[in-house]
Every structure is written in structure tokens, then in C-alpha cells.
Structure 1
């Protein structure tokens, strides 16, 4: 069992190692922190921390560095979130104010978060699986080609080109819009897709070729609405921080490329009572990301909770990164709430 002072020594080791990149020794702790005890006493505390596998000695150095287990204890019991500066809060507000649409808002979110933290920023899109379709619009581009626009109450907007097997005029298009609107608007995304599938099955031999073509395309688009999506920024920071990783960064680059692994990891992380979550080093080994840590904060969207966070080396500034993720998440929640209220 680690004593209270032992935990404070662990805090000092984590903070100093993150700041200096160098193993931390007992003399350094005495000089930099006000423990009021001798270096010999600190060495005893460090020996106990090493017995608990919370710190370790790299190579033959007399100093110690935190283990993944040590970082976990630090995050769970010791880390206090550092308040953001006025400049940082101003940056968040200026970056996220007046986005053109949801896609623009999500891109701005990860851009500001990677600027605040210097890490790879990740943001889950709000889930549209439970969203309701509020509007469908058809725009004529040519007699046999339309633009389909779908809008949900969660802020999702989809635009899809629709080639038709027959020509349609304004009257035909108005009838198509009215029939499709009656079928799918004010319906959940999944329900709308089911109703269109039923239409195609029931009218299998219908000569309304335009309606069938539009229904098939909208079903595909609604399938996209139900897929989880992730937006990222700052991948180049991995190359600049490669020396901070104990092994290869290639698994991280592959995860960024494929996204599926990161989406699953982001979804499975367990949040605390404040909506904050951290997955550290070896805890991510089953995802092939044992060299990285991810910290995240929940944000509220009309269709449910999603997460925004950062990924980087285990030797990261957890209090600052968690604080940045939480601040960006809160502002993102507010933006989405205001957008919902204005509808």
C-alpha cells in the first residue's frame, strides 16, 4: 500500500519527467519540491513505488520514470486539471464560433484541440442513428439528374447526386418530393430506411422508375448516416514526438489511416463521473496501440453523447490535455445545443 507521501512523490516524478524528459532522482525531487524531508527518505519512498511497479529505472540510470501503471494511478488519484488560460479559452471560442455546418464545426474542433495540446486530436461525430429526418429537398441539375438533400434534427446534412433512368420535369419532381417526404420526414433514420425498403419491396414491378431510383439512393445515404465517423487533426505531431515513444509509431499511423480501431477504442473507454476518460499505454495493447495514451471528454449532442480527445505518447501532460479536451467538449456541446434550439 502506497503512503500519501509516496503518492505525492509519484506526482512529482510524473510531472518532472513530462517536463524534463529525463529520469527523476531523489535529489532532484528534494530540490524542486517542498517535501520537507531528506533525499534518503525520498529514496525510501521511491523504492516502495518501484516495488508497486509504479516507477522503474531505465537502463542503469539512478533516476526513475513512471510506468504505465504509475501513470494510471496518477490520472485516477493525483491529477488535478489545470485551468485553461484566458488566451486558450479565447482560442477555443474564436475557432468554434459561426461554423458553416456540422462538418466545419468538427474540423474546427480537432484543429483547435491539436493546437492547444500538441497531440493528435480526435472527435467522434454525433451519432445520427437515433436522429430524425426533418427535411428532404430535390434540386434539378438536369432532366435526368437531381441533387438529394437530407437534413436531420441532430444537425446532419447530406447531399447526394442522383442519376435517374428517366427525365423528370418540375411537376414530376414536386410529386416525388411530396411522396418521399411523407414516407421519411419526422422519422428516425433507421425507420426511414426500413420504410423505403418496404416501398421497394411492395412496388417491385412499379413503372415509377424515378421514385425507385431515388429510394434506393436515399437508403444508401441513410446507411452512411448510421455509420460512426471520426475526424482527426495533428497526425504530423507523431513524427515530431517519435522519440517519446518506446517503440514504433507505425501502429498509430495505421490506426489513424483506418480509423475503425480508434472509433472502437474511443467508444469503449470508461468515463468517470465528470465525463472524462483515459486509456494508457498497455491498456490499449489489444487495439495494437500499446505505445500510446488517449484522453477524452464526453460532449452532448441532440442525438446522444460522443467524445472528443487527444492521442499521444504515454509521457504526456495528462492534467493539461484532459482540461483542454473538457473545455473543447463543453464549448462543442453548447454550440450543438444552440444550433438545436435555433431549428
Structure 2
């Protein structure tokens, strides 16, 4: 790609470093870790804007250290989805899903949702084109994350929800918003609990599930913080465990399991990451998919039952 075209794409679709790191409030190891995660995802996104041919793109993504590589693949999915929205032809994202992005398929769906939010595209028509009845809902997670992260005042502080979303889509949107709170709160338990407590009670369970996703995949904290998080979640600790187990499967599938994921599984799920992933595999078996019971909802309910986490009597009781 010519340098001028790359610059044009970045000018129209890019994310500045100032925008990407505006959430950060300090220079502690945790804040620096979270900044690295965001910068890596944005880097993968910009890599596509600079050149989307897989033979050039994939080696650039694979130069990222293994711990952070999933974020680069997530960002690349965001970029490919953005190009698909603007340029005609065969779906770049689908080719990515079928090819180099497949080991990171969970992150790829999330990145697609982030692109739709950034480009202000409604996610429902896009999701209907995706084939996996459970994983396609991760598009809504990415959509919610983007809105919670980049539009914190509207979607976290004011607790707004996009009016065009279906009832179940709103729940998965909240999962993404919860994940964004992990970042904007600096993974601080008190800030997380306070932010979630400000939402209506019926939204707490899915917000805590998103915290479980972030704690398990992103990490950046030690055992005392994860243990305090379990207490703060109260009766929603089992929902948090569902999110953590799910991302343990995602990291194992991609071959980038990290100690933080093992720690989160041990504390939040009561099992090791390998066992959590096996429970996810079982939950995926013969998933029904109906209007009244979306496959992703059934998957989560099965996981919650199989994990059988005892809720804390303290913390969130709403």
C-alpha cells in the first residue's frame, strides 16, 4: 500500500494514542499493563489500515509477544471489519476467520463488534451473517466494550443503552461494558464495585460477567485483588466465573495461556484453566438456538451450573 493511502485510512478511521490511553490515571504496573493491552489492540487495527494482505499482515501480528498477541489479532479483526464496511468485494473478515484469525476466533468476533460501534453501524444485520450461533454474540461484547471504554460518560456514568438493541443483545452489551470498567477503573476492586453499583440492579449480573472476562483474559493483578473481587461480586460471583472459564478456553485455543488466567480460574472458578476449558467444551455440545433461548445464553447457563460456584454472602447483593 502507498504511504499516502495508509495515511488517508489512518486519518479517517484511526485511533490516536491520546484517545487510546485517555482512560489511564497513573504509572503503576497495573495501569501500564492495561495501557499496553490497549495499545497492542490499536496497533493491530492500524496494521490493517496500513496493509490488509494476510501475507504481510500476519507476520506483523505474530511479532507481538505471545501474552499480548490476541489483542493484536482482535485489533486486526476490527480493521478488517471496517474495510468490509467501506469497500466492496468478498468479506475480508470472513477470510480472516477461516484462516489466520481462527485460533483467536473469540477475539476476532469482539474486534468486529468494536469496529461496528466505532463506525456507528447497527450490529444486528452483521451478526445475522455469522455462522456460529453462540460466538456471534461476542460481537455485542465488543460493541459494548467500545462504547463503555470510549464513551464512558454516556454508557458507564449515565448507564445508557443503545435503543436499537434487542433484550438479549442488551445483556451481552453489558458484558462488554463490564469489561471496559476493568480498564477504566484500573482493575481496582473498590472502583469496579462502585461503578457497577450505580447501574440498575437487573444489569449487575452481566456487568460482573464482563469483569470475569477481563480478569481472566487481561489480568494485571495479584491474588489478593482477585480474591477481593470474588467477595465484591457477592451473589454474582458465579456469573463472573462463567466469563473467566470462557476466556480460559479462548486462551488455550490460541496457545497463549498466561499465569493470570490460571490464577483467575483457580480463585473465581475453583478449577484450573484446563478443567475450565473442558467445561466450556461440554457446554458447547449440541447447543440449541431459538429466539427465546439464544445459544450464547444457554451456553452461559450450562457453564454456571457446571462450575457450581458458591456465592459470597458479602459484596453485591442486588
What's the TM-score, normalizing by structure 1? 0.22
Hey, which of these two has a bigger chunk of helix by percent? Answer: 2
Q: Which has more radius of gyration? A: 1
Per the normalisation by structure 2, the TM-score is: 0.24
User: RCO (CA 8 Å, sep 6+): is it higher in 1 or 2?
Assistant: 1
Which structure's residues are more often strand, by fraction? 1
